[in-house]
Amino acid sequence: MSLELFGHPFSSYTWKALIALYENDTPFAFRTLGPDHPGNGAAFSALSPVGKFPVLVDGDRAIAEATAIIEYLDVAHPGAVRLVPDDRIAAIEVRMLDRLFDNYVMTPMQTIVGDALRPDDQRDAYGVDRARAMLDTAYAWCDRHMATRDWAAGGAFSLADCAAGPSLFYADWVHPIGDRFPAIAAYRARLLARPGIRRCVDEARPYRPLFPLGAPDRD
Ligand SMILES: N[C@@H](CCC(=O)N[C@@H](CS)C(=O)NCC(=O)O)C(=O)O
């Protein structure tokens, strides 16, 4: 039974799962969500617990949450790039970094993007200020963390880097990393040079005009 991934090429969490699939050349069918694909939407609605994507389908099994999808791929469809180490202590570091990128980079980035999609009279300036403050805090931590390593955890590309790729890609668009955090800037460049992430960036390029804050003319 072939794998199917429901998601959208411009979605940060879809990227996270796609990166794992692309890094290992894992065969799968991409089921794009959007108004042009109503059949995919109907199938997705029946599978997704709360309407969030991506969702991976493997035969009778549907897996939601990008981290769980990557954990599943690493066990059920492993490739040359192991995404979660077998060593349980090393795996905890990978999972910790995955949570840090999702919770403190991806989430505030999504808050800022989500605010820009709201009607003018329902904007949340306080929430956006707090999201920017969280990004500053996370950037300061991440810069210290990345100053002494190439990949987020354990010396090899992992689940944590699948989270960091889309997090730092889009976070830099909404809250520029600039010159303040050279280790993050170098890490982001390393992530974008990774073939699986490069492919996500390129496949999302046609959707850039939809970015609510205006996509910068780079990357
Ligand atoms: N915790 C989820 C988050 C997924 C998520 O936020 N997906 C966004 C796209 S990047 C989504 O489904 N947005 C549509 C919506 O919220 O209605 C995961 O890790 O997969």
How confident is the chain (219 residues) per 10-residue block, as mean pLDDT?
A: 93 98 98 96 96 97 98 98 97 98 98 98 98 98 98 97 98 97 98 98 97 95
Q: Is 12 in the pocket of ligand 1 (CB under 6 A)?
A: yes
Measured in angstroms, how far is the CA atom of residue 148 from the centroid of ligand 1? 31
pLDDT at 120: 96
Residue nearest (by alpha carbon) to ligand 1 atom 16: 52
* DSSP classification of residue 1: -
Determine how β-strand 3-7 pairs with β-strand 61-64.
Answer: unpaired
Q: Count of CB atoms within 10 A of residue 185's CB?
A: 18
Q: How far is the CA of 147 from the centre of ligand 1 (A)?
A: 30
Distance CA 19, CA 23 (A): 6
Mutational pocket test of ligand 1: of 52, 109, 167, the residue with most ligand atoms within 8 Å of the beta carbon: 52
Check residue 1 and give its pLDDT: 59
Domains parsed from the chain with CATH numbers: 3-76 (3.40.30.10), 88-194 (1.20.1050.10)
pLDDT tens-digit map of 73-89: 999 999 999 999 999 99
